[in-house]
Amino acid sequence: MPTPASPKSAAARAKPPAPLRQGMPGTKVARVELGVSPKDICTVIYADDALIAVNKAPGCPVVPTGAYRLRSVTGALTALGYGVTYPISLLDAEATGLVLLTRTPEAAKAMRWNWRSELCKREFVVVAQGDIPGARGRITLPIGSVREGGHLRHQVMAIDQGGKAAVTSWRLIARGRMMSRLQIAMTGGRTHQIRIHLSAIGYPVVGDKRYGAELTSVPLHALVELPAKYADSTVVPPHQIAMHCSLIRIPHPVTEQMMEFTAPVPRVMIGLMPGAWVLDG
């Protein structure tokens, strides 16, 4: 039951505080979150009575959180008429690509078991800062979290200090313009795993300032060879990083039929490193 309002809170409502003025010492200006159309938050690419797969836009969390409470995937699906949904994959708000959700608690339980098993395959396409050496690699650094103020910071952490096993495998697709285009598969599913692992070896995701990236656009000296048709997409927006979930393969939570979902790489990422974007497996 709602808690009855105290006389003090009632008085506060009756006499609202004076509006804050920008520039006044000691004042805070409230952040205004702009609403986004549900169809601009995610595109439904598959839906049945148990399972939904969407292609998520950047700057949109899967569930309402922090400063982003009006532009979540779950909120968009409710607005589009899909009712209550249960997220299976919590793709970073700044990333793009595939997100899976279920429509019943029973399907969620089955799907989460499959998600943690070897039956599930996830692939990402990432543009990393720098010319990464070699054709493929495997990062096995454990990941944990520490509390900083009211937030958790996720980072590489030894097992004996609370870190948990995480494995990120990468394959080089292309190099150029001080960047590396990678195809990535992972096991472990730790928070920000790909971002932390690539940063730890010195090749952070382009646009990911949280984990040390300095590049958010094509270097100026490289623009001379950039095709004109990509001239409008050479910069990663502030709310986006160059990481995209491109493929998920997993059994259906009810029929157990193997399902495979794919999502095309966003134009912004193509503009960073134009050329062949067909993955040869």
Domain architecture of the chain: domains with CATH: 38-266 (3.30.2350.10)
Q: Which of 66-75, 83-92, 261-270, 272-281 has the lowest mean pLDDT?
A: 272-281
State the sign of the Cα–Cα–Cα–Cα dihedral 128, 130, 136, 140: negative
Using a pLDDT cut of 90, give the percent of the chain over it.
Answer: 55
| Other CB atoms within 10 A of residue 231 CB | 10
Chain centre to alpha carbon of residue 258? 24
Q: Cα separations (Å) of 201 from 19, 46, 130, 225? A: 48, 36, 11, 29
* pLDDT confidence of residue 217: 63
Lowest-confidence range among 25-34, 93-102, 112-121, 134-143?
25-34
More confident residue, 147 or 46: 46
Whole-angstrom distance, CA of residue 190 vs CA of residue 245: 15
Q: Are 54 and 98 in contact (CB under 8 A)?
A: yes
CA proximity to 170, closest of 130, 208, 209: 130
What is the reported pLDDT for 36? 79
Q: Please state the rounded mean pLDDT for residues 128-140.
A: 94
> 63-76, pLDDT tens digit by residue?
998 766 678 999 99
CB atoms within 10 A of CB 119: 13
Cα separation values, 36 from 47, 79, 85, 190, 219, Å: 22, 11, 19, 29, 31
- Predicted confidence at residue 272, as pLDDT, reads 85
Q: How confident is the model at residue 276 (pLDDT cuts 50, 70, 90)?
A: low
Q: Answer with the residue of higher pLDDT: 213 or 19.
A: 213
- Average pLDDT of the chain? 82
Q: What is the pLDDT of residue 32?
A: 57
Distances in whole angstroms, Cα of residue 35 to Cα of each of 38, 41, 63, 65, 209: 9, 10, 15, 14, 25
Query: What is the structure's pLDDT at 220?
Result: 44
What number of other Cβ atoms are within 10 A of residue 57's Cβ? 21
Name the residue with higher pLDDT: 181 or 21. 181
pLDDT in tens, 15-52: 444 433 444 444 444 455 566 789 999 999 999 999 99
* Cβ atoms 263, 245 nearer than 8 A: yes
Percent of the chain with pLDDT strictly greater than 70: 76
- Highest averaged pLDDT of the listed ranges 23-37, 53-67, 120-134: 120-134
pLDDT in tens, 250-269: 999 999 999 999 999 998 89
Lowest mean pLDDT among 103-112, 141-150, 164-173: 141-150
- Whether the per-residue pLDDT at 157 is higher than 60: the answer is yes
Tell me the two tokens of residue 129: 């800062």
Q: What is the C-alpha to C-alpha distance for residues 152 and 23, in angstroms, rounded to an integer? A: 30
Render pLDDT for 161-170 as a digit per residue (tens, 0 to 9). 889 999 999 9
Stated pTM of the model: 0.80
